[in-house]
Amino acid sequence: MDKEVVERVKNDPNFKRLVSERSKFAWRLTIAILVVYFTFILTIAFSPGSLGAPMSEDTVTSIGIPVGIAIIIFAFILTGIYVRRANSEFDDLTAKIKENVRGR
């Protein structure tokens, strides 16, 4: 890629906005999953009985199993949220950046 094109992209206000918004959004989602995951791990470490308790008297399945499954589902939901925003807002900004760079 030509250095002039790289400089045009770097100086484009849409590029700066894209980088800033995408980074902030990714960090928010990362923090959300880390809080949920580490809460789960710390609960296992400091209160194993709470997640190890059976769901009912008749079953051997502990409460930790559905909680673990919920964490996995939460991760998929966060991924879907990111993909949806990336395919709409972030792709729109990328298209504007391309138009601005080609138009000059």
Distances (CA, A) of 33 to 17, 26, 38: 24, 11, 8
Tell me if 94 sits within 8 A of 9, measured CB to CB: no
What kind and span of H or E run contains 37? helix 13-46
| pTM of structure | 0.81
Residue type, 3: K
Residue 63 sits in which domain range?
3-103
pLDDT tens readout for residues 39-55:
999 999 999 899 999 99
Q: What domain count does the chain have?
A: 1
| pLDDT number for residue 101 | 84
User: Binning pLDDT at 50, 70 and 90, where does residue 104 land?
Assistant: low
A 10 A CB-CB count for 23 gives 10
